[in-house]
Structure formats: C-alpha cells, structure tokens
Amino acid sequence: MNMLSDTTDTTHAQGPASHATQASSGQALAAPLPTTLALVEDDLEYAEYLAQYLTEQGVNVQRYGDSNDLLADRMPYDYGFYLLDLTLPGVDGVELIRILRKRTTAGIIVVSGRRDNDVFERVMEAGADMHLSKPVRFEQVTMAIKAVQRRSNPNPVQNPGLSWRLDTLQAELLAPDGTRIALSGTDMAVMECLLEAQGAVVSKNTLNERLGRPLTEGPDNGLNATIYRLRRRIEQATPVHVPLHSQSRKGYQFRAPLVRV
C-alpha cells in the first residue's frame, strides 16, 4: 500500500475484515496497473528484471539509473507512476519525491534497502504513497502499485453522494456499497475524530490526544502508521475509493459524507 512495522514491506497486509464479503475483497484487488511508469534505480540488474516483469504485466516502463536523468528528460512529470530507490546518484531520493510531488499527483512508491530509523517518516512526509523494504518480491511491488492506483482513482461504481456510516455500537465502518468493516479501538478513535470534523482537517495533535499519545512538533511516524493501517484495512474490504487523505504537515481529512448510526 503488513505495515505493522514502519519500514517493512507494506504489501504483507492482513486479510479482509471479518464482516467484509469475499466478492468485495476480490474486486478491491482488481485495480488496473498504470499505463506508464518511471523506474529510478541505480542497481541496473535489479531494475532490468523488475522492468521486464512490469512490462509483461502491460506497463510501459522507462528506466533511469540516476535521478538527474529523470529530471533532465523531456517530460519527467508525465508518467502515470513512479518507483524510486532512495540512495541515488544525483538528487537524493527523498528530495526527488518532494520535487515530483510538487508537479504531479501520480503514485509514488519507494523500494529501498535503506534502514535508517526515520526513513519511513521521511519518505511519507516528502509525499510518497508507500514504502517497501528490499528484498521484496516483484509480485508484491505489483500489489502495492495496484493499491495506490485504487486509492488515487476512485472506483466508477461509487456514488459520491452516498454516505459512509460509523456504527459506534458495533465498532464498524459501513462503506457506501454496504460493506461492513470491523474496526479496532484505535481505528474507532481516529474515525470518531474524523466524524466530528465533518470534512475539516483533523490535526495530528488532536488525533494524538484522542489516542492518548504524546504530542509532537515534527514528523509523527507512529500516527502515520496508524492511519496507513486503517486505510489499508478499508481498502482490502471494499473496492469503493477510500476518502481518507493526509494534509502535509497538518493532519488528516475524510473527504466524503460521514454519519453516525
């Protein structure tokens, strides 16, 4: 999109929530791959095999061994998706994410062997959609791309006028298509904050106060992971676009009608 540890492979996700139907779960995995993809990776052998694998899935892949090569290209911001390493010749991977995010809304996934303690929070704060730790199977990379695609491209069957509903007695979130998603206590606390905000941005400090966590002035890796797990739980249960979005350095926002039942 696991993601239970901050920098581990994020594609080892838990199964669908107990109240979700198998049909909904199957639909959720059917998101299309992007038509074009920029692969920025200085391990040329790894990049060659990964590009070949994605090409066989129908993706038009352009490889770059240097971040500056991408930025110097004729149309560096026109790709439908970006896969990036972090330790790159030229512009550092985190800075490359910031540059791309200012100019494109395309999906960005980091696939890196870097193990710094703050690597997850740095790439997420820069604007990446997901972080995968090497070694990672090509199949898992494909699943992660599909998960980001599904989040970025709302399912056409969704009626944006239909409400999401929060059942506080049963601790469930009801999607517009009728899917019921079981929520943990932490998930419920987050969703209740979003419900009270009614579409406004909920600050990170507000969420941490509700969760009984220390307040922080800088990047909050723990809260990022909490929100990511919640979003993945919903995505696995229903093909409906999940309107839970982050606002850089501000907080989180639920951009759809949300009511209590």
**Could you state, in chain order, the average pLDDT of each consecutive group of 10 residues for the chain (261 residues)?**
35 36 40 88 93 93 94 90 91 92 89 83 88 91 89 50 85 91 94 91 90 71 86 87 78 88 86
Residue 44's CB: how many other CB atoms inside 10 A?
A: 10
Q: With 0.75 as the threshold, say if the pTM is over it.
A: no
CB atoms within 10 A of CB 252: 24
DSSP single-letter state for residue 56: H
**Phi first, then psi: what are they for 126, rounded to 5°?**
-70, -25
204-211 helix and 221-237 helix, angle to the nearest 10 degrees: 80
Let me know the angle formed at the C-alpha of 253 by 251 and 258, rounded to the nearest 5 degrees: 145
DSSP state, 208? Answer: H
Q: What is the pLDDT of residue 153?
A: 58
CB 83 within 8 A of CB 129: no
Residue 17 contacts residue 236 (beta carbons within 8 Å): yes
DSSP line for 220-251: -HHHHHHHHHHHHHHHHH-SS---EEEETTTE
- Residue 13 in tokens: 């996700």
Dist. CA 201–CA 221, nearest whole Å:
18
Q: Give the model's pLDDT for residue 33.
A: 87
Task: From 244, 71, 66, select the one nearest 154 (Cα to Cα).
Answer: 244
- What is the DSSP-derived secondary structure letter of residue 165? E
Residue type, position 146, single letter: K
Q: And the tokens for 4?
A: 């239970």
